[in-house]
Amino acid sequence: MSEQTNTSSDRRVVIVGAGMAGVQTAVALREQGWDGEIRLLGAEPHRPYDRPPLSKAVLLGKAEGSAFEVDFDSLVIALELDREATGLRAAEHILDTDTGPVPYDVLVIATGADPVALPGSEGMPGVHVLRTMDDAERLRPVLAGQRDVVAVGAGWIGAEFATAAREAGCKVTVVEAADRPLAGALPAEVAAHMADWYEHSGAHLVTGAHVAAVEPGAVVLDDGTRIPADAIVVGIGARPATGWLAGSGIELAPDRSVATDDRLRTSLPDVYAVGDCASFPSARYGERLLVHHWDNALQGPRTVAENIVHGPAEGPVYDPVPYFWSEQFGRFVQYAGHHAAADELVWRGSPDSAAWTVCWLRAGVLVALLAVGRPRDLAQGRKLIERGARIDRELAADAAVPLKAAAL
């Protein structure tokens, strides 16, 4: 991997992907003093926008959009919309797009992730995903009309869509193949307590149910159950949008993410990757992480910009405490850390109450926590995780004691 030198007005940075990660990389480069050319390429025709409001205010018609408040002209950032990357010729430092080649000196890949399609549903009328502004616009009249909807998948997106649909007055059924919601994100002993949230909101959650077929106006389960639906929303995961890199020579991880080093550099010279499409090695957790959440797309660009401007010899290492939040069924849910390697779980408060927290420990050290309606626990716990603090289990289990007071 080649080392970058200091800023130079004749060097070009091309950023492919105009979501949060791409926009923040462009802005951070200017903040760090980069005085060369910056070109920001977006595949969509819309001006860059924030995605979290899509499943909330935009979907419910409470906002017309969520465009970033960035003055690209004053920052001298060339914004090129409706331009999709199709390939990469690294030896020539050329990015290929559907409207022609783009030369670069430094390339930043920020193409995000694509939703996983439900087999057999591609192109079928009435079947939706919720990833882009256009997706939200297509779903708005469904919610406004208080129609019958089926969400396939009880993950974060499924829960947020079900929440918005119930608020709009829709009849909502959520179909989940696992035996509980959030099966891919949280262990059974935690996620099981979230199942009741659906029923209390008026949504019907069907677990252990596999979709056998999607028909116009209905979802058919493998046991023959037919669920009527004016609209079907598929939320069964997302995969890094890296298919266009085939044949480029860039190293991909087994999950198809761009495999970066601890400074978010790829295996190719002068190419970085950031956001939902990139995975990075975490010394904190001892494994490679792929984080599909807003905060990662906000924090990673600062590392990329500093390494481009100052050079990797002086630039920072990227090893954050992952963080995300979700608003669902009247609850504010926050998570920080990574619990996969934890060996102990500590409850703060009852999961049957309106507010509670779960702490995960590894050899007595706090490595992750999930806070439901307890933002102070999240704020304090995130700092404890960052510094690798050991925790007194008895104090941590007392919800009346500030979590920071449990640090040893």
For tokens 């025709």, what's the residue?
Answer: 45
* Segments in 104-155 forming alpha helices (H): 133-144
Report d(CA 131, CA 257) in Å as an integer.
Answer: 18
Report d(CA 323, CA 379) in Å as an integer.
Answer: 11
Is residue 359 classed as helix, strand or coil in its secondary structure?
strand
Other Cβ atoms closer than 10 A to 110: 32
Predicted local distance difference test score (pLDDT) of residue 334: 97
Predicted local distance difference test score (pLDDT) of residue 8: 58
User: Model pTM?
Assistant: 0.94
Fold of the CATH domain 12-114+238-310: FAD/NAD(P)-binding domain (3.50.50)
For tokens 């409207």, what's the residue?
Answer: 99
Give the DSSP letter of residue 304. H
The domain segmentation of the chain, as residue ranges, is 12-114+238-310, 117-234, 330-406
| Per-residue burial over 94-108, b = 16 or more CB atoms within 10 Å of its CB, e = otherwise | ebbbeeeebebbbbb
CATH of domain 330-406: 3.30.390.30
Predicted local distance difference test score (pLDDT) of residue 151: 97
Give the DSSP letter of residue 116. P
| Per-residue burial over 262-288, b = 16 or more CB atoms within 10 Å of its CB, e = otherwise | ebbbbbbebbbbbbbbbbbbbebbeee
CATH of domain 117-234: 3.50.50.60
pLDDT-flagged residues of the chain (< 50): 1-7
Give the DSSP letter of residue 2. P
Predicted local distance difference test score (pLDDT) of residue 7: 45
237 phi/psi in degrees, rounded to 5: 120, 175
Residue type at 28 in one-letter notation: A
Do the first three CATH levels of 12-114+238-310 and 330-406 match, i.e. the same topology? Answer: no
Residue-wise pLDDT for 38-86, tens only, equals 999 999 999 999 988 888 888 888 877 789 999 999 999 999 999 999 9
Predicted local distance difference test score (pLDDT) of residue 105: 97
Report d(CA 231, CA 59) in Å as an integer.
Answer: 14
Is residue 301 classed as helix, strand or coil in its secondary structure?
helix
